[in-house]
Amino acid sequence: MREGRAYVAVLNGRIVAVAALVLIGKSAYLQGLRVRPELRGRGVGETTTRFLLEEARRRGAVVATLLVAEWNTPSHALVKKVGFKPRMYIYGGKPARRGESKCLSSLEAYEAVSEALGRSRGYACLPDEPWVCTAVTPWELLARGRPCIDKSLYIGRFSFGSAIGDPDIDVTSLSLDGYRERYTTYILYAIELQEKF
């Protein structure tokens, strides 16, 4: 709430759901939707998600994304119902090793990140907020971290390949390799918010 990204849904004067909305350039990331357990199955989650999409559109986003844990059947059904499409798998957890890296700068860095984003169809998690995964430009990533090459390219706490980084701190990645402790698999969903880009 302090960062201006939390929303609450209020019904009859009572908070019935919480959720967050992060805007990164023209992309919106929906995070942490929680409906009060005793009020689930009555449309609160769907209404809150649709509200956040409208809010994202109003604030200038053209695409919205979110992550759903593989096992979370209710959430998969909800996000598909409102129009999200699955795009890719994201893995997260504690990496096994730090890596012996060659870090890149300026033009080399820009080209490597552009090339990696081309392979991921433009999606990545943020170097400094690895649980925020959305459609980004090379500049948005480069403003938040310096790309390095180990077995694959990584930037801050996100890797385009295997997990790499401080073994005590969470990272996310596009490959399931390289974890000391890996959490569940996540599916990245996306939805277009405007008819024309």
Ligand X SMILES: CC(C)(COP(=O)(O)OP(=O)(O)OC[C@H]1O[C@@H](n2cnc3c(N)ncnc32)[C@H](O)[C@@H]1OP(=O)(O)O)[C@@H](O)C(=O)NCCC(=O)NCCS
State the number of binding residues for ligand X (CB under 6 A): 18
The single residue among 60, 74, 86, 118 that binds ligand X, judged by CB under 6 A, is 74
Where in 26-45 is the site for ligand X (CB under 6 A)? 33-35, 40-45
Q: In the bound complex, what is the minimum distance in angstroms from residue 11's beta carbon to ligand X? A: 11
The residue sitting closest to ligand X, measured at its beta carbon, is: 45
Within 10 angstroms of residue 22's Cβ, the number of other Cβ atoms is: 18
Residue 45 or 138: the one with the smaller Cβ distance to ligand X is 45
Within 10 angstroms of residue 197's Cβ, the number of other Cβ atoms is: 8
Rounded to whole angstroms, the Cα distance separating 141 from 149 reads 15
The answer to whether residue 73 forms part of the interface with ligand X (CB under 6 A) is yes
- Supply the DSSP string of 165-181, one letter for each residue: S-TTS-EEESSS-SEEE
Residue written as token pair 């919106």: 28
The answer to whether residue 77 forms part of the interface with ligand X (CB under 6 A) is yes
Strands 63-69, 147-149: parallel, antiparallel or unpaired by DSSP?
unpaired
φ, ψ at 115 (rounded to 5°): -65, -45
Take residue 196 and report the two structure tokens written for it.
Answer: 């024309």
Where in 78-97 is the site for ligand X (CB under 6 A)? 78, 81
The answer to whether residue 75 forms part of the interface with ligand X (CB under 6 A) is yes
| Site for ligand X, rule CB under 6 A | 33-35, 40-46, 68, 72-75, 77-78, 81
